[in-house]
A and B are shown apart, each in its own frame.
Chain A
Amino acid sequence: MIQTLTQIDPQEAWQPAPDKKWDLKWAAHLYRRAAFGVPPRRGEAEREATSWELIQRAIEQGRDAMIEELLVGGPGQDAFDKLLDGLGQRFASSDEQLDKLQGWWLYRMVHTPHPLREQMTLFWHNHFATSVSKVRRLSSMLGQNQLLRGHALGRFRPLLLAMVGDPAMLVWLDGVNSVKGQPNENFARELFELFSLGVGNYTETDIQEAARALTGWRLDGDRAVFAADRHDDGQKTVFGQRGNWRDSDIVRIVLEQPAMGRFLARALFRQFISEVESPPDGLLEPLAEELRKSDYDIAGCVRTILRSQIFYSEQAWRTRVKGPVDYVVGLLRRLDASVPVEVLATSMDGIGQSLFAPPNVKGWEGGRAWLNSATLVSRHNLAWRLVGGQDPEFSSRVDLTRIVNKHGADEPAALVEFLLNLLLDGDVSEESRKLLVDFANKDPGNKDEPKRLAELVHTILVMPEYQLA
């Protein structure tokens, strides 16, 4: 019987897990949650390595070293970033190329030498959920994306302050319309409700007063400009503090609220540990306190989480639903596939997550909400397009035969064993295993091995277990 979160000792939960918690199951778990399923590649030497080899190497080298590697990323980052930053600007130069920009980000996630940073960029995109549907300008969406990437594993204070004056955000939540005498409350409300404190930790008056303090921004082309003549420089009282506040003061005051640490800890818990139940405040408190004491150092907090006892526990195992982006990027990385991702960008809407276009300012709800009959069928059909070997866009780029040949899995039982290890970390019931071996053993009268292999892989990819992270 799995303990509920209220039964867990908060002090122990965040202590480092014993070293022995490091095998195929837990290494795969770490990389699935923090690196789209696969460790960063170590440059030229590992250019041809399969994801399976990379994970085996990571298991040998030990957990803590691998976590440190995730936090700093692998070699070749600077060149990769420089190239991708330039390409992004090119795609964002026309507002008609949303699918190209989405493909650009997907490509970055699939091939990045710093997968944890990309994973966190996606986390922040959901946290500060901003949609192109209202912003319209791709250059502003790209600007925000680069900003999130730059702060992804940094500190929360400069990130939050940067978001206040971010051009995309200013359009998205009407900051550009908020001027002295006529403040628009939209941004102030979501700042407290969704970005920093959560419902119940502010009053309507705090919102109205903060909205006044946040006035003054306007756009000059793509650039945000603070215009003193549009700013309300009167006295405002926010959370009991009275003064002639402006945006940086509001950020300071927000970060002084005790709810701030808890709110961020809760978001990170849901991202890395579990979506099954909402953790009690008590369980989050050590994490929240670490955040407050470190001036909201994100990397430090993520390190604590990734080493913690609770991360390597049944409370965390398969307790998240893979988000659509996680699902697609993770699948491509696990299968060493280098596909034209811009083609995939247009399929992402059907499986429920269109990058740069979250459904509203609260972001994607995640968890169980990812899966319904429509998204599940789209997932299954997308997986078939990728591995079925019949789609001209993908057939030559996903080489299942190479992977299984390299790892010597040719007779049916060994093949099923290998694929279940590769895709489900070997954690499958005996009954499922047997059904798959029977299927692999069957000879339906054709000797079309690649097709049989594709069907077997696809059958595993549509299993309920595979939908979980």
Chain B
Amino acid sequence: MLNRRDFLRCQIGAGTLMAFGATVPGFLASTARADDKQNQEKILVVVELTGGNDGLNTVIPYADDLYHKARPKLHYEKRDVLVLSDHVGFHPSLRPLKELYDQGQVAVVQGVGYPNPNRSHFESMDIWQSADPSRKIADGWLGRSLNFVKAPDGRMPAIHVAQRPVPLALRGSPTAVPTIHPNKPLELVLGGPNAAPGGDLDRESSGPLVRTEKDNAASERRKLIDKLAEVTSPSAGSMLQFVRRTSLDTYTTLDRLQTILGDFKTPEGQPEFTGGQFRYAREGLGYELNLVARLIEADFGARLYYVALDGFDTHGNQKGSHAELLSKLAGAVQEFFSILEQSQDASRVVLLTYSEFGRRVNENGSQGTDHGSGSNLLVVGPSVKGGVVGDHPSLKADDLTAGDLKFHTDFRRVYSTLLDQWLGCDSGRVLGGQFEHLKLLT
């Protein structure tokens, strides 16, 4: 018997099978799925590490005495790091990522940055997200890429999963980018406590989704609300137009999300994944990446997903908190790809991590680190060419800039590689210039 997910796949990929509705035999569905996978669009997932990740204690130059001197309290010995090469190794908390690395699925790009580094969180984050160190461009590189990177059938091309506003990186897109709150209801409540718009999804049926009209008044009112958001008037200022567009996009997204995520069990009003085959955290990066995996698996259609992990601004007592953050990151990424492996989607997904800056080479007096520059980032996925890319920047005093690492790889080279070679769009039109590709993909 087809389950609902299988059916959704057929419905979206192999249109001809749709006519068979609930009676499509399992072997046909799986054939349809295999065909689908070959033709499906590639996806980029971006994980923002907010606050300035300490790159030096993420990819650790354990073989360099200067590292141990600069970090008397915060350093890790060779016996503790997860060795990647005879010079660098992962922080001990990154074991799950080390496993992926050993399978050739992680590229560690070292010495990434931009000239005249800005040490303000907000300015540097804006630079990374706009991809413009001169600060003249006011929208985001991912948002701009959506002028060229298309989702099938006019579906939402990008999704932001978070409890916070859409980041600059996703702005500048021809359509608004919806945000999905990871643990809030995804329905508009218009009637009594249980009446969803247009009635509830009929969860008993294993066939095509059936909407039962439990509350006609609510569905009528929903139509009125849509209409009132569509009303245009010549005098409407740009702010009103913005709210109208956001409202309409929201209503459209709601309907689609309800179709895809409708079989979440919500015992306490909180979405929960079913099936028992995955472990699910209730919040945080792991939970958010699970939601992303679920959307990818169900062919939501988006090409870009954006999530964030906050807390990297480790000015004081950094050792424990930094280890915990890296552990969250590594666990979430491993779990994410293991879900996608099972659904045969992993090879069409690449995940990129980045942070606004690294931190000062010398630790400060509070057993923490202040804002620095020049750091590393990770590119993960079965389609990635694994390994360490570029040398670790020198820690010699003469080679530092105001106590910070010198970058040798412009961050836009990473972007241009992913735009051209992965998302298949002309990076020059997104970044406003050509940047030499890195060898990141197989």
**A→B interface (CB under 8 Å):** 2, 174, 177-179, 181-186, 189, 193-194, 199, 204, 275-276, 314, 317-321, 349-350, 352, 359-362, 365, 368-378, 380-381, 384-385, 390, 429, 431-432, 435-436, 439, 444, 455, 458-459, 462-465, 467-468
Contact = CB atoms under 8 A, between A and B. Distances in A.
A8 to B, nearest CB: 15
B366 A184 contact: yes
B239 A468 contact: yes
Interface string B243-260: 110110110011000000
B238 interface: yes
Contacts, number: 162
B179 interface: yes
B250 A377 contact: yes
Interface in B86-145: 119-123
A157 B254 CA distance: 48
Contact of A373 (B163, B180, B231, B238): B180
A361 B122 CA distance: 10
A193 B316 contact: no
A377 B160 contact: no
Across the A-B interface, the 10 shortest Cβ-Cβ residue pairs: A182-B365, A369-B165, A374-B181, A177-B366, A372-B179, A464-B243, A373-B178, A373-B250, A429-B233, A374-B179
A374 B184 contact: yes
A372 B253 CA distance: 11
Contact of A318 (B178, B224, B239): B239
Interface in B220-253: 220-221, 224-225, 227-229, 231, 233, 237-240, 242-244, 246-247, 249-250, 253
A177 B314 CA distance: 12
Contacts of B249: 373
A376 B224 contact: no
Contact of A174 (B178, B243, B244, B316): B316
A321 B239 contact: yes
A201 to B, nearest CB: 12
Interface of B: 50, 119-123, 160, 163-166, 176-181, 184-190, 192-193, 216-217, 220-221, 224-225, 227-229, 231, 233, 237-240, 242-244, 246-247, 249-250, 253-254, 310, 315-316, 364-366, 368, 370-371, 402
B246 A362 contact: no
A451 to B, nearest CB: 9
25 contacts: A174-B366, A174-B368, A177-B368, A178-B366, A184-B315, A184-B368, A189-B119, A275-B239, A276-B239, A319-B239, A371-B243, A372-B165, A372-B176, A372-B246, A374-B181, A377-B188, A384-B189, A385-B189, A435-B227, A435-B228, A439-B224, A455-B221, A459-B221, A462-B225, A462-B228
B243 A459 contact: no
B266 to A, nearest CB: 14
Given A431-B231, A432-B228, A199 B239 contact: no
Nearest to B370: A185
Contacts of B176: 372
Nearest to B257: A373
B412 to A, nearest CB: 21
Given A377-B186, A435-B228, A372 B240 contact: no
B189 A381 contact: yes
B120 A199 contact: yes
A439 B189 CA distance: 18
A181 B365 contact: yes
Given A174-B366, A182-B365, A185-B370, A464 B244 contact: yes
Contact of A189 (B120, B166, B181, B227): B120
A463 B365 contact: no
B224 A435 contact: yes
Contacts of A321: 239, 243
A360 B165 CA distance: 12
Contacts of A463: 228-229
Given A204-B119, A380-B188, A370 B366 contact: no
Contacts of B370: 184-186
Contacts of B366: 174, 177-178, 182, 184
Nearest to B225: A462
B250 A376 contact: yes
Given A184-B316, A276-B238, A352-B164, 20 more contacts: A177-B365, A178-B366, A184-B368, A360-B310, A362-B121, A368-B242, A369-B165, A373-B254, A376-B246, A381-B185, A429-B233, A439-B221, A455-B190, A455-B217, A459-B228, A464-B229, A465-B240, A467-B243, A468-B239, A468-B243
B160 A372 contact: yes
A365 B126 CA distance: 13
Contact of B166 (A182, A372, A385, A444): A372
Contacts of A370: 165
B214 to A, nearest CB: 15
Contacts of A429: 231, 233
A134 to B, nearest CB: 9
Given A199-B120, A431-B231, A432-B228, A376 B247 contact: yes
Contacts of A275: 239
Contact of A186 (B187, B310, B315): B315
A439 B237 CA distance: 26
Given A372-B165, A390-B193, A464-B244, A377 B225 contact: no
A365 B184 CA distance: 21
Contacts of A276: 237-239
Contacts of B50: 360
B9 to A, nearest CB: 24
B196 to A, nearest CB: 11
B337 to A, nearest CB: 26
Contacts of B233: 429, 431
B172 to A, nearest CB: 12
A2 B237 contact: yes
B49 to A, nearest CB: 14
Contacts of B180: 373-374
Nearest to B165: A369
A314 B238 CA distance: 12
A390 B165 contact: no
A429 B231 CA distance: 8
Contacts of B240: 318, 464-465, 468
Nearest to B192: A390
A196 to B, nearest CB: 14
Contacts of B220: 444
B165 to A, nearest CB: 4
B364 A184 contact: yes
A368 B138 CA distance: 14
B267 to A, nearest CB: 18
Nearest to B367: A177
A372 B184 contact: no
A267 to B, nearest CB: 15
B123 to A, nearest CB: 6
A263 B225 CA distance: 40
Nearest to A182: B365
Question: Which of A2, A182, A349, A462 has the largest number of chain B CB atoms within 10 A?
Answer: A462
B402 A204 contact: yes
A350 B366 CA distance: 35
Contact of B316 (A177, A368, A465): A177
A431 B227 CA distance: 10
Contacts of B189: 380-381, 384-385
Contacts of A455: 190, 217, 221
Nearest to A317: B237
B243 A362 contact: no
B224 A174 contact: no
Contacts of B364: 182, 184
A133 to B, nearest CB: 9
